[in-house]
Structures are given as C-alpha cells and as structure tokens.
Amino acid sequence: MRCATRRCSVRDTGWESVLVRVAQRCDSSGRADMGVLPHPRIMLVTRGSVAVQRRDGVARRSAQLAPGKAWIVPAGVPLSYEWTQAGSGIRELVVMVLPAADLARTAALLSHRRSSPVTLTEPVLTEDRVVRSVLTALTHAMAAGVDELYAQTSAAFLLAHVLSHYGTGSPGPVGVGREDARVRTAVEFMRDNLHLPLSLADLAGSAGLSPYHFLRVFHASTGLPPRRFLTRLRIDVARHRLEDSDLSVADIARQCGFSSASQFSTAFRRETGMAPRAFRRSRAT
C-alpha cells in the first residue's frame, strides 16, 4: 500500500511568515531529493524512522532519524531523505524552514556579545528537547488554526535557541561589556583556574575589591552575577572539550571545576537542554 499526506502552515493555516510542513507516508520505502537548500531548515521525525543524507562533494554523509531526533541543516546543503521500514508502519516528518533573512537578523543580534559572527555552517543531529517541544507545539497550533502571532513568537525563540547552541562563533556569555580592567582580571583568573572550587572571596581578591563591591562592578560590566558567569564559562569550555577531545565526561567535569560528573551533567543540561554525552554524539555526526 502507498499513501502520502501533507499539511502546510502557509496553505492550511494561512501563516505567511512561518513555514512548517508535516508529511506522513505509509509506503514501505521511498526517496525524496530536496536539492540544494536555499534556506536553513529543521527536520524532526515524530513517527517511524527516516534516513537523511547530504552530499559533500562526491562523498555522502547520512544519519538515521528516529522519533524525537532532529536534523538542523544550513542553507546551501544538498539534501535527500529516504524511508524504509518493515510492515505498514507510518512515518511522520516535521520540517520547519528558517528564512535566511530572519536567521541573519537574529545572528546579528547575538553577535554583538561575541568575538566573531554567529553563523550556522554544519548540519547537526540532535535530540534537543527545546527543538522538539517547539516544533511539536507549532504542529498542534497549525492543526488548531492558531493565530500567526503565536507562530512568529515561537519561531523567533527557536531561531535564537538554534544559533546560540549550534552556531559557530565564540560563546556570548563569556564576554565582558563595558571596559573595566578589574573585571577583565577576574575573568582571566576564572579562565586560568576553572578546575578549582572558586569562591566569591577568591574572585573578588583577584580583582582587588571587596566581595560586595566586586558583585556590583561585575554585574554592571557583564550583566550577570559572578557565580552565574563562572558556571556559563565552565559549560562553554566543557562544550568545546566534548567536541574536540576524547576525554571522558568525568575528566571534563573535573577539569572544568565540577565536583562530580553528576553535578556537571545537571549544570550542562540546564544550560544546553542536553546531557553531555548526547551533546557529544550530536556534534560528532
């Protein structure tokens, strides 16, 4: 048996600025070639299993998407997908197009706190619960005919989330705003001593300030309390080590100043929406 159904937010709901498609197939196998994508998009499998494939010159790179897994694909990437499954099971795929102009505007807003521009350059396979939740909510809103303002707000949040977590460019939370040599000294002290259990007194002492004065000066310069800034710095460094090294999660936790792998995992999930091992798998694809 062969069947295919498709819902489209523009056609079925009248949304003009947010494009979401939901496709269902129940044929046993098939393939669709999407060509070179003019806009980035997110593909989320909600039922069944779908294999996605991109061409990199003459080479091909593929990934298997099971329910809950998403592929974030930049513009300019030749993409195809195929579906295979024994029996007559239904496969469902949600695709959200991220308009290049909206992505550029969001990237510009994020880039002012970073040392280099924020861009989306490489496909990413992820089990990001934020991505899954937003796309699921958008499909429900589409089916219910919810006003486009809801879709626009959700899409704007998702763009910022994707660029913040999967875009290139050095992480924003570790930047210092207004020039203050004392705060910069404290930040360098944090970087050099991430592996240590730093106290507020340690940080204030590195800047030559009392703890109370240091709290005020640091927050005014960075927009964050010192402890929050330090945690984000630790997570940012840990993310790079998860991507670029073969160190164990426990070793990375110790090097970044966490007392245990469990504490590290909790903090990492709070900042990124993913467990450390899941993040490493998503970046290795």
pTM across the whole model: 0.54
Q: Per-residue pLDDT for 178 more than 60?
A: no
Is the pLDDT at 84 greater than 60, yes or no? no
For residues 2 and 21, what is the distance between their CA atoms, to the nearest angstrom?
Answer: 20
CA 251 to chain centre: 24
Evaluate whether the domain defined by 172-284 bears CATH number 1.10.10.60.
Answer: yes
Chain position carrying tokens 């900042």: 271
Cα–Cα distance measured from residue 149 to residue 185, given in angstroms and rounded to the nearest whole number: 45
* Phi, psi torsion values for 72, nearest 5 degrees: -100, 115
pLDDT-based confidence at residue 166 (cuts at 50, 70, 90): confident
Tens of pLDDT along 29-41?
666 666 666 788 8
Is the predicted pLDDT of residue 259 greater than 80, yes or no? yes
- Which fold would CATH assign to domain 4-166? Jelly Rolls (2.60.120)
Rounded CA-CA distance 19/39 in Å is 11
Residue 252 pLDDT: 94
Mean pLDDT of the chain: 78
**What span, in angstroms and rounded, lies between the C-alpha atoms of 167 and 172?**
11
Q: Where are the domains of the chain?
A: 4-166, 172-284
Tokens for 126, please give them: 């992820």
**Half-sphere exposure (CA, 13 Å, Cβ side) for 44?**
22
